[in-house]
Every structure is written in structure tokens, then in C-alpha cells.
Amino acid sequence: MKKIIAAGFAFVIGVSTLAFAADLSHASEGRLSINMVGTTVAQTVRDGGEKYAETFVVQPDHTLKLVDRTEIAGH
């Protein structure tokens, strides 16, 4: 009986660990887990009808810090 309870408990722990790991795969949303710290990332955005080129630097906690925002003329 104790072996059955222990096996059931181990199964529950294993399943909950897998579920937790699946949640962790989405924990980096809004963060760049692939890029190395210090890497620059560029993007083009529209704001209020104007178009801008933005440059970010990846911080140690993998968030982005805006370091440059330049309006793109003619748009």
C-alpha cells in the first residue's frame, strides 16, 4: 500500500513539475531570452501617424532599454 501511495505521489509531483515547466516557457514574454546582454535590437514603429526607428539594448534581466528613437522623415 505504501508503494502505491509513494508511486502516486511521485506521479503527481512529476506531472505538476511538467506543468510548471510549460508555464516557465512563456515566462520570458516581453523579454529577450535568446539575445545576449548588451546586444542591440532595432525596430520600426508608428506612433501618432509618425514612423520611428527605435534602438534598444538588452539589459542583464533581459528587459529592453530604449537608447535611441529617431523619426523617419517622409512618412
> What value does the mean pLDDT of the chain take?
73
CA distance 56 to 53: 10
Residue in the block written with cell 510548471: 20
pLDDT of residue 61: 86
Tens of pLDDT, residue by residue over 39-68, are 998 999 998 889 999 999 989 888 889 999
DSSP-H helix ranges across the chain: 2-24
Predicted TM-score (pTM) of this structure: 0.53
CA distance 22 to 14: 12
